Amino acid sequence: MSTTSKTLTFDKSTSRANPTPSPMKRLTVPRIRQRKAGGVTAEPLVMLTAYTVRMAQLLDPHCDMLLVGDSLGQVIYGLPHTVAVTMDMMAAHGAAVVRGSYHAAVVVDMPFGSYEASPQQAFESAAHLLKETGAAAVKLEGGKILAPTIEFLTNRGIPVMAHIGLTPQAVNILGGYGVRGKSAEEAQSIVEDAVAVADAGAFAMVIEGVLEPIAIEITQKVTCPTIGIGASAQCDGQVLVTEDMLGLFDRTPKFVKKFGDMAASVEDAVKQYADGVRDRSFPGPDQLYQPVEG
């Protein structure tokens, strides 16, 4: 058997579906976890959300993890919050992102109602998502109360990313998306949540929408990597909703920095297309098929 390494390539001009595989191995959960050594992550972890094959293809070379977030309820489906997101939605979009990526570890959100009732329910839901998508791990929201569930899943071979602080699935209890940890009591509770989920076996945790000192304290206390969103640059990594980061939405949370203005680019391209159709300059000779003479 030849041991010569070969790079498999596809002609991308013939298919929108197949990305060109890169000569690299996909990052695994243990490798992500090992990036934090001795309480320090020398190279911060990069994570962005992805919901489609094409976006996964574009993000994959630059990201350590791709999160198929239940934020797709708002970004893709126009829902007012994430509570209405279903398992079928997460499974379909999760599978698409896995198909579109070769490098990043793919993490899929467990939607509201799929894991809270019991560890057994959580296992069935998580196993279903991993089987349907081929993803590396699941993410669930909650602190101390869900630590036993995280331990149950981890002990049965399902890697779990935790999510603490501002937990969007609890919007009906929280009353909105305001920053968490303003009182000393709530701040202490969030830190306790972080320690509990880390001790339960979470390989990483998202810290969302908390006062910065809380995120720094948690990052220093827990052994697993912390991924900040509206938290602190001192976290072990960062995540944003890709469409927010690209500037596709006019209104975004305070913690979002727009690294592009894609909305303006799309509007400009659509205007040029519409003008071309109306003045009959599109389609032109380069886009048309003519009979072959002879």
Beta bridge mates, 164:
207
Taking 60 as the threshold, does the pLDDT of residue 15 lie above it? Answer: no
Q: According to the model, what pLDDT value does residue 18 have?
A: 59
Q: How far apart are CA 288 and CA 282, in angstroms?
A: 10
Q: How far apart are CA 136 and CA 161, in angstroms?
A: 10
**Residue 38's domain spans which residues?**
18-261
Task: Specify binding-site residues.
Answer: 70-71, 109, 139, 141
Task: Specify binding-site residues for 3-methyl-2-oxobutanoate.
Answer: 70-71, 109, 139
The pLDDT tens digits for 84-131 are 999 999 999 999 999 999 999 999 999 999 999 999 999 999 999 999
Whether 2 is covered by a domain: the verdict is: no
Active-site residue set: 208
**Summary mean pLDDT of the chain:** 92
- pLDDT-derived band of residue 14, with 50, 70 and 90 as boundaries? very low
Taking 90 as the threshold, does the pLDDT of residue 12 lie above it? Answer: no
- The H-or-E segment that residue 276 falls in is helix 262-278
Q: How far apart are CA 236 and CA 43, in angstroms?
A: 8
The domain that holds 61 is classified in CATH as 3.20.20.60
Whether 275 is covered by a domain: the verdict is: no
Whether 288 is covered by a domain: the verdict is: no
- pLDDT-derived band of residue 4, with 50, 70 and 90 as boundaries? very low
Tokens of 185: 């009591």
- What SS3 class is residue 88? helix
- What SS3 class is residue 55? helix
The model's pTM: 0.90
Task: Specify binding-site residues for Mg(2+).
Answer: 70, 109, 141
The pLDDT tens digits for 201-246 are 999 999 999 999 999 999 999 999 999 999 999 999 999 999 999 9
Whether 113 is covered by a domain: the verdict is: yes
Q: According to the model, what pLDDT value does residue 142 have?
A: 96
Find the length of the chain: 294
Number of domains the chain contains = 1
Whether 5 is covered by a domain: the verdict is: no
Whether 160 is covered by a domain: the verdict is: yes
- Of 139, 147, 143, 142, the C-alpha closest to 111 is 139
Mean pLDDT computed over 7-29 = 61
Q: According to the model, what pLDDT value does residue 24 have?
A: 61
The pLDDT tens digits for 43-98 are 999 999 999 999 999 999 999 999 999 999 999 999 999 999 999 999 999 999 99
Whether 23 is covered by a domain: the verdict is: yes
Whether 283 is covered by a domain: the verdict is: no
